[in-house]
Each structure stands twice: as structure tokens, then as C-alpha cells.
Amino acid sequence: MYTDGGPDHRSTFWSVQLACILIFISLDLDMLVTARTAPMASYANPAERIMSLLNLALQNVALERPDMIEDYERKMKRNGSMTKVRNIGEKEPDFKTALLQSTKHVISKLDDRFSRLKWKDRNVNMHESANIDDIEDIGHLLSILDHLDEGLSIEKLKTKKDIEKFKCLKNFIDLHTRERQYTYQIKKCGNCAYCTINPPRLSQELFDNLHWLPDPVPVQKDSDEYKSFDDVYGEETDDSGRPSLVSKNVPTSADLGHKGGFVAARARSFIICRECGKRRVVYSGKRLTIDQMRLIERVQEEFIFTCGAPLFPDGVMKETVYVREGQSCNSEMETTYYSDVSGLNTPVCFFCGDTEVITNQEIQNLKQEYGIVRPICDTCFQGGKRPAVRNALKTNKKKR
Ligand SMILES: [Zn+2]
Ligand SMILES: [Zn+2]
Ligand SMILES: [Zn+2]
């Protein structure tokens, strides 16, 4: 399964992984490989080529839905993002029904237009989206894994941390899945309880030669040439060679255009990278207007932003509201995040952006010695990193 990087199929999301596990079980697959294209690289995904055809059907068509009652339309206007609209629907079932009714017309219009297209001599088919009943049915399949009677159910698996509560699921995931930045794979192991009840459907010989999809492995360290698939298939690999991890922080021409623009006084807000989850500072010469903040919120909601990309690739705000583009997901936090003129920024780990920062005796001691001690999370601290520091207090005193 090869998708672009949109949030509904972003394979690092727990909801997407859980859906993949359920597909794996419901279809009794031997192996499921999901991969997504790197940001801004959807054009390399063959499935996306259908877009040029679909665009033909969207020529000269007005996709306007009929109005709902005034109160509902006002709510739609006030809540610009999909999540907010969904939340209203949760609270007010009548609103949800009205909105579904109102969009029905648009959907059937699209169905009609698309189904008149042909792709390589075959008709284009628009499938109905899964309804609540379908989703619940497939969710019940999880109970297959619950051989320890732990009460495993989809409602109890809101976040990835919830896996820890269910040994049966944890065990299944450890034995059968492999997670990377751009791939998520599930494969029968061939010798656990699940695989005994659902043995591989491939012949033993084929199954024995079925390996994980390997990660890209550079020919040499720091080289941008990669080993061929055949050379690495069946080898143990990791994704440490992926370009977004090794790219350097070089200012782009846009960065150079914002000369003097990346200072604390201009740090107005932040946006979270959809890849690494780090908060990247949004700069502007003037304080942000409500409309500007709404637009940033929208970019955030739609998961468009990644480190290294412009905040607004075009439009009126391109020059006035911006982020530093010469950085990658591997770059540390910007120090301007911590200056925080707006007073809104919670402390996050300087290295990874995690919001759960720690303090301990060693960090306390550093605070005695330095004017600035950047926050750090437990994982980075345990991994051997030490807080970034500035302005040594003792040496300053000595100089005086
Ligand atoms: Zn197994
Ligand atoms: Zn990032
Ligand atoms: Zn960290």
C-alpha cells in the first residue's frame, strides 16, 4: 500500500497503524507493507497520477452545497478547521445530520462526474466511504488477539502508550511489525499462537524467502547514492540513512531575504512539523492579526508543514509571516522559541521538541552555573545528551 503523506494514512500515526493491523487480520494477510512518499514528493507516487485525470472531471463544475439553517452555517463559518467541525458534530447530532445531508449533493455530483471518466479503457469507480457500522465491525476483530482476556478493545487504544496496557497486543506488535519514518510493515512470524491458528498462506518456500522491505542504505557514509534493492533485501537495515536525517542547515534564498528577521522580537508563534513534531518558530515584523493566526492554524490542521518547507509557499503572507527554511527535522529547537515574547510557549526539549521535560540534580547544578539552561526530556538525557547551556555565571564574575 503506497500512499502520499496525508494525515489519514500517515503510517507513523497510531490510528493508521491500528487500522493496518485490523486490515492484516481481517484479510488474513501474510504480510502488509505500507509506505508513504516523503513530503513534497507525492508526484513520485504512481497512484497520484490519477489526479491529472480527475482534474478533467472538475472542470467547469460548481461544488456548492445547499445552505443549512442559519445557526449551523454560522457555526461552519466560525470553525474553520475539520477537527472543530467534527467536534461540533459529536456534541450536536442534528448538526452532523444536517451537514451530511448538505454535502450529499456535492458527493453525488462528484460521483457522477468521476464515473464518466475512463482510465486505460476502464471506468473510474468512486467507492463509498466506510460507515460507522463497517468501522465498528472491523474493530471487533481485535478480540482475536485477546487470548489473555485483558478486555482489549479499540475504545481503549486512544494513543500509542495504551498498547502497554495490553500484553497480548504488545506481544503481537513486537513479533509482527516494523515501524520506520516512511514505512509500516506487518508480517506473520510463523510460530506464535496467532500464526499457528492463521498459518502463512504462501508455500513454506515462498514464505521463508519473504523479508521485510529494506530501508535505503547509502553506498558509503554521507553518500547520496544508495545500495540496490537486491543487495539489501533480506539484510537487517535501519533508516538512519534517510536524507531528512542527514541534511545540513544551510540558509535558503528565502532565509537570506529575511535578513535580521529571525530574532526573538519577531518570534510571534510556532507551527508543529508533521514529520518530527518539533515546534518551529513563526516570525513576523508585526504582531499577528487574528486572520493570520487562523491561517497558521489551518496549515497546522491540514498537516502540510514540515521542517525545511516554507510556511506559506505563495500568497500575500509569504513575505511577511515566515519560518526559517534552512533547517531539517534533525535540527535542534530554535533558541528564539525560548525567548518567548508572547509568553505562550511551554518548555520543550531542546533536542527533540518533546513537551515532557525533566529536572534532576545535575540539571539543577547547571542552573547554578549558567544563566541559560535549555530544557531536556528524559529520553534525550538517558540517551547521553546534556542540556545546552549559555552564559556561564562564574566566568562572568571572574572577568568583572
Ligand atoms: Zn506470529
Ligand atoms: Zn520536522
Ligand atoms: Zn528530547
SS3 295: helix
Distance 163 CA to ligand 1 centre (A): 17
Distance 352 CA to ligand 2 centre (A): 10
Total structural domains in the chain? 4
Ligand positioned closest to the Cα atom of 173? 1
Position 396 scores a pLDDT of 52
CB atoms within 10 A of CB 88: 16
Distance 368 CA to ligand 3 centre (A): 22
Position 250 scores a pLDDT of 81
Q: Are residues 116 and 188 in the same domain?
A: yes
Give CA–CA dist 114/106, Å, rounded. 12
The residue from 300, 325, 344 where one domain ends is: 344
SS3 284: strand
Q: Are residues 298 and 177 in the same domain?
A: no
Position 57 scores a pLDDT of 93
Q: Are residues 60 and 112 in the same domain?
A: yes
Position 170 scores a pLDDT of 94
Ligand positioned closest to the Cα atom of 323? 2
- Smallest CA-to-CA distance from 224 within 241, 245, 240, 238 is with 241
Position 340 scores a pLDDT of 74
In order, the DSSP letters of 92-144 are -HHHHHHHHHHHHHHHHHHHHHHTT-EETTEE--PPPPPPHHHHHHHHHGGGG
Q: Are residues 336 and 353 in the same domain?
A: no
Position 197 scores a pLDDT of 94
SS3 25: helix
Q: Are residues 195 and 121 in the same domain?
A: yes
Which H/E stretch holds residue 50?
A: helix 50-57
Give CA–CA dist 381/231, Å, rounded. 36
Q: Are residues 183 and 201 in the same domain?
A: yes
Distance 279 CA to ligand 2 centre (A): 8
Distance 275 CA to ligand 3 centre (A): 15
Ligand positioned closest to the Cα atom of 278? 2
Q: Are residues 147 and 292 in the same domain?
A: no
Distance 245 CA to ligand 2 centre (A): 10
Give CA–CA dist 311/300, Å, rounded. 10
Nine cell digits for residue 347: 518548555
Q: Are residues 63 and 188 in the same domain?
A: yes
Q: Are residues 357 and 300 in the same domain?
A: no
Q: Are residues 49 and 191 in the same domain?
A: yes
**Cβ(52)–Cβ(217) below 8 Å:** no
Q: Are residues 228 and 368 in the same domain?
A: no
Mean pLDDT by 10 residues, the chain (400 residues): 72 85 96 83 78 91 91 87 84 94 92 93 89 90 90 87 90 94 92 94 96 91 86 90 69 87 91 86 92 88 81 86 89 89 79 88 93 89 90 62
Give CA–CA dist 364/244, Å, rounded. 34
For residue 78, what are the contacts with CB-CB under 8 A and spacing of at least 6?
none
Backbone φ and ψ for 280, nearest 5 degrees, come out as -105, 135
Distance 163 CA to ligand 3 centre (A): 22
- Smallest CA-to-CA distance from 331 within 246, 265, 227, 210 is with 246
Distance 37 CA to ligand 2 centre (A): 15
Stated pTM of the model: 0.68
Ligand positioned closest to the Cα atom of 181? 2
Position 280 scores a pLDDT of 94
Domain limits at 75? Answer: 2-208
Q: Are residues 225 and 280 in the same domain?
A: no
Distance 272 CA to ligand 2 centre (A): 8
By the CB criterion, residues less than 5 angstroms from ion ligand 1 are 189, 192, 194-195
**Cβ(73)–Cβ(88) below 8 Å:** no
Position 131 scores a pLDDT of 86
SS3 34: strand
Ligand positioned closest to the Cα atom of 331? 2
